[in-house]
Amino acid sequence: MPIVQIHLIEGRTVDQKRALVEKVTAAVCETVNVTPEHVKIILSDMAKHDYAIGGVLKLDAQK
């Protein structure tokens, strides 16, 4: 049942995403008593011009 959505700044490799979903699924199963096949994970990549902290785009925050 747990449905997990993870918003990330774009740029991670498929290998990083493989490890991410594997480890997050294990963490969820271990702590809220479900089995892996019930855990769904959606990854949402964000461009640096689509994320802001403190009113400043990530794109501009790194200049």
> Least distance to a second copy from the beta carbon of 54, Å?
4
Q: How far is the CB of 10 from a second copy (least distance, A)?
A: 11
Give dist(CA 42, CA 45) in Å, integer: 10
Among 2, 12, 45, 47, which one carries the catalytic annotation?
2
The strand pair at 40-46 and 3-9 is best described as parallel
- Phi-psi group of 55: left, alpha or beta (phi > 0 → left; psi -120 to 50 → alpha; rest → beta): left
Name the site residues for a second copy (rule: CB under 8 A).
1-9, 12, 14, 16-28, 30-33, 36-46, 49-60
Catalytic status, residue 36: no
Catalytic residues: 2
